[in-house]
Each structure stands twice: as structure tokens, then as C-alpha cells.
Amino acid sequence: MSSTPPPPPPPAQSYERQYYPMPSMPAPTGELIVFLVAWLVALVVTLAADAVDWPAFLTATIVLAAAYIISRGIAKAGKVYESR
């Protein structure tokens, strides 16, 4: 009969090293940074200008979000196309 040895015990937790390390956060994409800057500009214009109201800000947010989603789709499609 062959028996497998028991798994090794987990490492001791200490302040120098975490037991479960935090996963690294990916860097934000260029499209995300452009989206956030454009959204902040639209927010400042909405707050500063009397001619731009909240429904116009919501429309601008929807258009910016749609453009961001399309740009990410194009970027991912480009990566798939390059890998072939």
C-alpha cells in the first residue's frame, strides 16, 4: 500500500510576511485614465456652468462610458489579432 505523505504545514504568520499575500493590482489602462479625466472635466463644467444641467452631465457620462467600453473592446480585439 502506498500512502501519500501528509501535506506540509502552512508557514507561520508573522509581521514580516503575510500568510496570504495580497494580489498585485494591475496598472490602470490609458483608456481608463482618459475616461476619468474626461468625466472629471464634464463634472466641473456641469458644476461651474449654468447652461449645463445634470441631465446633460448624465448624457455625457453615458457617452464617455460607451466610448470607454468600445475602446477596451478594440484594444482586446487587437491583442487577439496580434497573437495569431
Look at the pTM and tell me if it is higher than 0.85. Answer: no
**Looking at residue 72, what is its pLDDT?**
87
What are the residue ranges spanned by the domains of the chain?
30-83
Instruction: Spell out the residues 6+ positions from residue 53 whose beta carbon is closer than 8 angstroms to its own.
Output: 46
**If you ran DSSP here, which 8-state letter would residue 50 be given?**
S
Distance CA 35, CA 41 (A): 10
Cell of 62: 453615458
Q: What is residue 7's predicted lDDT score, i.e. its pLDDT?
A: 84
**What's the DSSP call for residue 1?**
-
Tell me what pLDDT residue 26 has: 84
The conformational region for residue 52 under phi > 0 = left, psi -120 to 50 = alpha, else beta, is beta
Q: Going residue by residue through the chain (84 aa), what tens digit of pLDDT does each one get?
A: 567 888 887 766 666 655 666 778 888 888 888 889 999 999 999 999 989 899 999 999 999 999 989 988 888 887 776 666
Residue type (1 letter), 79: K
